[in-house]
Chain A
Amino acid sequence: MKEVVQLDDKLKRDIILEHYQSPFHKGLVEGDNYIKVNSLNASCVDNIFVSALIENGIIMDARFEGDACAICTSATSVMIKTLIGKTLEEAKVIVQNFDNMINEKEYDADVLGELNVYDTVYRQPNRKTCALLPFKAMKDIMAKVENNNLTD
């Protein structure tokens, strides 16, 4: 793994709480071109909708709505902020590396940016699903786009 700047726990917590208390792009917009998916936690607690506008292979916009815990809500917010403007290829790399980080596999911290604040979530195994929930939704959205392209 590459050398990365270690964020201290206090700073990480502040960033997570900032995103929990004032989430980025919370509230869906109605638009025909947005693809929306719902993602329910296996523990039947967190319930979020993520929607994204993807044009020419680029994530132009993404938004979310729902009821979820601090980890899930903030991770959704940070994910959306990170992925807007990225190509689907770039987004996939980010999503995969985030997944690896949470599941304690080798990952590239450089591509994750602000998402690195979740690098200690693995210490609370019962929160892994919470952190991964928005990423599962985003994977579903990207899969839908690719399937649409195949059938076009």
Chain B
Amino acid sequence: MNREDFPILDSGIIYFDNGATTMKPKSVIDSVVDYYSNYTANAHRGDYDSSLKVDEEYEKVRTKVRNLINASRDEEIIYTSGTTESLNMVVFGYMKKVLKEGDEVLLTKSEHASNLLPWMVLQEEIGIVIKYIPLDDNYCLTIDNVKGMISSRTKVISIAHITNVIGDVRNIEEIGKICSEHNILLVVDAAQSIGHIKVDVQAANIAFLGFSAHKMLGPTGIGVLYGRYDLLQELEPLKFGGGMNAFFEEDSRYELKEIPWKFEAGTQNIAGVIGMGKAIDYIQNIGLEKIHEYELKLKKFAVSKLSEIPNIIIYNKDTPSGILTFNIDKVFSQDTAVFLNRFGISIRSGNHCAKILKDEIGITNTCRASFYLYNNEEEIMKLAAVLKRQDEIYDNIV
């Protein structure tokens, strides 16, 4: 749907790597160009017209983000460079302060590196205990398995809303309920779910949540950390400098600004924030339910088409998201990706930054086709047509 809004699609590219990043609609591109062409200025700095306009636009987007994820106030929205920075702020700005040696953090083996490595480093630094909630036979998380891992020492559950390889959609509202019953903080990596399905931080009792704008039609280098207001009181900034201090004196006394500005040191990615605002407008105009329904329809179609082809192994037929993970039997995933590229089809191969998922699937590398609203059945037919020609693969890539 809405293909005409995406200038890049005019090139004829078939882009199925939306889990990595998404294409940008013209309205997003134009908003960034408009800022650079017509009112470039810094935020929170000047007393002149363009600077005031920047201030307004920059803060307006906070409200848009709040509405998108149903936060209770604008101050709970902190601009970051993306999910990775958001999760690092949670781990090193908050958890490092409140957790103690022996406290347990529950993760899963299908998490992305950015929701695993910070915790591993914290384990090394202060001796928290990382435990992995087991996945079921389809590499998905079940409520029973979550419950089964909770002990009196469990302080945090940190999981993706939608996983990036299998596309498992976690029931975060139910998990949030369990967390509140046990006084556990729920941290959510929403990189793959934002802009794809509804995210409601209050309904799911989420403590912290991170996402990136570029995976939901926005610019790269901008994202959000949501933190519940009472928890943000304890969050320590990891960066200090301009724009985040109230005052400082030569005797080293200083005071920081209020939440959220104390977390936004240095000149921010203003163009990114403005573009993210337009991306949210674009998504809200279509409606998340409609987008999600459409992705499911595409996935179902892709599963049915690829299932007809010999030697195609699909790893996640039933997960209710737009992510399809597969291999051609006995063909290395990268060779398949290079082959598809010969026909103008972009998919991702490898371990998708989920390096310990191999312990569960028993296979290191897969091909991933991840769909978004501008993909269509015709493109999937082309993917299937090329995969049917798998006998020609080595003639094309060697």
Contacts and interface: CB of A to CB of B under 8 A. Distances in A.
Interface in A68-92: 68-71, 73-74
Interface residues of A, number: 21
A74 B394 CA distance: 12
B353 interface: yes
Nearest to A14: B398
Given A69-B332, A69-B335, A127-B338, A45 B394 contact: no
B364 A47 contact: yes
Contact of A67 (B341, B353, B364, B395): B364
Contacts of A12: 398
Contacts of A16: 398
Nearest to B336: A69
A44 interface: yes
Given A43-B350, A45-B349, A45-B350, A69 B334 contact: yes
B332 A70 contact: yes
Contact of B394 (A47, A67, A70, A127): A70
Contacts of B394: 13, 17, 20, 70
A128 to B, nearest CB: 12
B332 A67 contact: yes
B398 A67 contact: no
Contacts of A69: 332, 334-335, 338
Contacts of B334: 43, 45-46, 69, 130
Contacts of A71: 397-398
A126 interface: yes
A8 to B, nearest CB: 13
Interface residues of B, number: 17
Contacts of B332: 67-70, 73
A33 interface: no
B351 interface: yes
A126 B397 CA distance: 11
Nearest to B342: A124
Interface string B345-377: 000011101010000000011000000000000
B398 A45 contact: no
Nearest to B395: A13
Interface in A126-141: 126-127, 130
Nearest to B351: A44
Contacts of A70: 332, 335, 394, 397-398
Interface of B: 332-335, 338, 341, 349-351, 353, 355, 364-365, 394-395, 397-398
14 contacts: A43-B350, A44-B350, A45-B333, A45-B349, A47-B364, A69-B335, A69-B338, A70-B332, A70-B398, A73-B332, A74-B398, A126-B338, A126-B341, A127-B338
Interface of A: 12-13, 16-17, 20, 43-47, 67-71, 73-74, 124, 126-127, 130
